[in-house]
Amino acid sequence: MTAFTVQVPDETAARLDQLAEKLDRSRSYIAAQAIEDFIAREEWQLAEIENGLAEADRGEFASADDVAKLVAKYVTSVRPS
């Protein structure tokens, strides 16, 4: 395991300490978990963006009919009475 120093604002450190106390964990554990969660989320998001760009490069787009069906699934038309 590698250790390194991270500087954060005093308020952030205080909040981290409060959270660690409430969870009965160390400040280090909470910070490491936050970093792991951040990295996993960013890796996922970047992979999805890269996949979407690759699909676009291959010309794989939804048809107008596909988009209309998707919108109709989630949006209801509001007509004046």
23 touches 30 (CB < 8 A): yes
Band (pLDDT 50/70/90 cuts) for residue 81 is low
7 touches 15 (CB < 8 A): no
**How long a stretch of residues is the chain?**
81
Express each pLDDT in 34-68 by its tens digit: 999 999 999 999 999 999 999 999 999 889 999 99
28-41 CB burial, b ≥16 within 10 A, e <16: eebbeeeeeeeeee
- What pTM value is reported for the model? 0.70
